[in-house]
Structure 1
Amino acid sequence: MSNDLAGIDVTVDGNVLRITVNRPSRMNAVTTESLDAIASTLNHYRNDSAIRVAVLTGSGRTFCTGADLSSIEEISDPPSPATIDAANRSVTEIITFPHPVIGAINGPAAGVGVSLALACDLTVAAESSYLLLAFTKIGLMPDGGATALVAASIGRARALRMALLAERLPAATAADIGLIAATYPDDNFAESVEALTRQIADGPAHALGTTKFAINAATLTEIHNALERERSGQLELISEPDFSEGVQAFLEKRPAAFGRATIA
């Protein structure tokens, strides 16, 4: 099974559900349709008794570089909540999926790609990969639950540093500070992920699912409020000149000149 239009490949391998972001020409940047496909796939299989674990990853050498800004046809158009809502549905489906979801960061994860990865229950990364909350570089705030997911793992101070400064966080550092579960060498990343997948798939499904639910319920108490706050804040920011300048600068591959557009 696959969704070529949305750039999402879906396969079922025995008791393993595999979801792969497959838009290599856009460095696996996602669209509203991509995010909807992820959400609908997880929802479709959540009651499938054969599935015991899901794996979310990216094709090639990239996990997901966030929302596809090249799909914005007219920056001055009124803001639409469609992509934000699709991201929120995807993250919610990952968190509430009845079995563990492994996030396999095979390469750079940026923007909402970080949110998707951190919503997973066991997030592992290739040693050469990194995580980047790049939102402020285009005049936006983190979304997809990132304001709750990051802080729940590494605390307020480190979360603010990551979100406000938009610094690349190497995978090894992410593992050291507890943002992700582990890193694996690039040359055997796929094999390591497969071994982890099989360990979960061969484990006690009910116990693992119940454990996931209990830990998420204890640690992600703010996730739904965070999604609502991010939606409200993001829609406000999308309508401001800094976002227009940020996107234009991104498309033109130049540093953004924030604030200048608001000076009369």
Structure 2
Amino acid sequence: MTLVDTEHKDGAIWLYLNRPARHNALTQPLLDELFTALKLAEAKKPTALVLSARGRSFSTGGDIAGFLDHTGSQDRLLSYADQLVGALHDVILSLLAFPSPVLAAVNGPVTGGSTGLVLAADMVALSNTAFIQPYYSEVGFAPDGGWTAMLPEKIGTAKALEIQYLNSRLSAEEARRFGLAAHVCAPSDVEPKITEWVTGMSRRFAQTHVATRQNVWDEPRLQLVKERLDREKARFLDLIARPETLAGMEEFTKQSA
């Protein structure tokens, strides 16, 4: 079974995170498959790229069980975290640099670093059962995936800090009000709404969409996001191996069992 499914629909390429039994929690193999799928999709020059997920959740972010599996030595844990967060950030940057419009069909909850996959999308259709929540302060992690690198620009610095300090849960409707989603609907209507957007785009000049996206995500802007993501990873590595963080991971895993 692949961890990322690829489907071609009416000129768009759909990529589905496919680890539903674990709520599409991010692992190195999944991120590696997603990065490869993005590069293959880019070569096809689709009308749009659509990122979605199988199951009830979009993604719960980095799999804490994966971190705990590497706590036998500090070097192993740091190496694992470095590769995982680095792979997530590479995927986010690839989404931002993708030439065609990037859409997200968000079927369920989005937590932790997987939020960056949604932040990198141009237009988001959100299930009314979905929510967005950081959870970093519940475990002791430093934010990754764009929570500090991208979210403040999207919704304002004060609100981005408030959400992370209080571990606030944004409902689907709140996410729409803050501009994180263009549309909220019943779960069964998410994919039809994306299809409607793709159909509308296909009636217009693709070369204009490409030029528009490249102008918005030009090299200076991409470089700024990269630098901020690099700082996120450095802070993540600084905190991940601390005793209090290890205790936080273990406690969080018990509460989530």
| TM-score computed with the length of structure 1 as normaliser | 0.88
1:246: how far off?
Answer: 1.6
Name whichever of 28-37 and 10-19 sits farther off: 10-19
* Paired residues of 2:57 and 2:110 also in contact (CA < 8 A): yes
User: What is aligned with 1:246?
Assistant: 248
The separation in 1 between residues aligned to 2:110 and 2:197, in whole angstroms, is 20
The separation in 1 between residues aligned to 2:90 and 2:223, in whole angstroms, is 17
* Gap change, CA 1:110 and 1:184, over 3 Å in 2: same
For residue 193 of structure 1, give the secondary structure of its aligned residue in structure 2. helix
1:220: how far off?
Answer: 6.3
* Paired residues of 1:108 and 1:129 also in contact (CA < 8 A): yes
Give the unaligned 5+ runs of structure 1. Answer: 255-264
Matches within 5 A, 1:139-158: 139-158=140-159
User: What is aligned with 2:119?
Assistant: 118
Give the unaligned 5+ runs of structure 2. Answer: none
User: What is aligned with 1:31?
Assistant: 27
* Gap change, CA 1:67 and 1:202, over 3 Å in 2: farther
- The structure with higher relative contact order (CA 8 Å, sep 6+) is 2
Q: Give me the CA root mean square deviation.
A: 1.9
* Paired residues of 1:55 and 1:101 also in contact (CA < 8 A): yes
1:174: how far off?
Answer: 0.9
1:33: how far off?
Answer: 1.3
Matches within 5 A, 1:158-197: 158-197=159-198
For residue 46 of structure 1, give the secondary structure of its aligned residue in structure 2. helix
User: What is aligned with 2:109?
Assistant: 108
Matches within 5 A, 1:20-169: 20-49=16-45, 51-72=46-67, 73-78=69-74, 79-80=78-79, 81-169=82-170
* Paired residues of 1:150 and 1:179 also in contact (CA < 8 A): no
The separation in 2 between residues aligned to 1:146 and 1:210, in whole angstroms, is 27
1:14: how far off?
Answer: 4.7
User: What is aligned with 1:262?
Assistant: none
For residue 148 of structure 1, give the secondary structure of its aligned residue in structure 2. coil
1:163: how far off?
Answer: 1.9
* Paired residues of 1:111 and 1:133 also in contact (CA < 8 A): yes
The separation in 2 between residues aligned to 1:246 and 1:168, in whole angstroms, is 20
> Of the candidates 232, 236, 247, which is equivalent to residue 230 of structure 1?
232
* Paired residues of 2:176 and 2:184 also in contact (CA < 8 A): yes
* Gap change, CA 1:189 and 1:252, over 3 Å in 2: same
> Of the candidates 6, 10, 23, which is equivalent to residue 10 of structure 1?
6
1:17: how far off?
Answer: 1.0
The separation in 1 between residues aligned to 2:188 and 2:40, in whole angstroms, is 33
1:160 partner amino acid = L
User: What is aligned with 1:199?
Assistant: 200
1:133 partner amino acid = P
The separation in 2 between residues aligned to 1:201 and 1:226, in whole angstroms, is 34
* Paired residues of 2:125 and 2:193 also in contact (CA < 8 A): no
The separation in 2 between residues aligned to 1:17 and 1:36, in whole angstroms, is 18
CA offsets, 1:144-178, max 9 Å, x none? 22312211110100110122222110010111121
The separation in 1 between residues aligned to 2:239 and 2:197, in whole angstroms, is 40
CA offsets, 1:25-61, max 9 Å, x none? 1011110111121112112221324x22111011122
* Paired residues of 1:9 and 1:22 also in contact (CA < 8 A): yes
The separation in 2 between residues aligned to 1:173 and 1:165, in whole angstroms, is 16
For residue 124 of structure 1, give the secondary structure of its aligned residue in structure 2. strand
* Identity rate, percent: 27
1:107: how far off?
Answer: 0.4
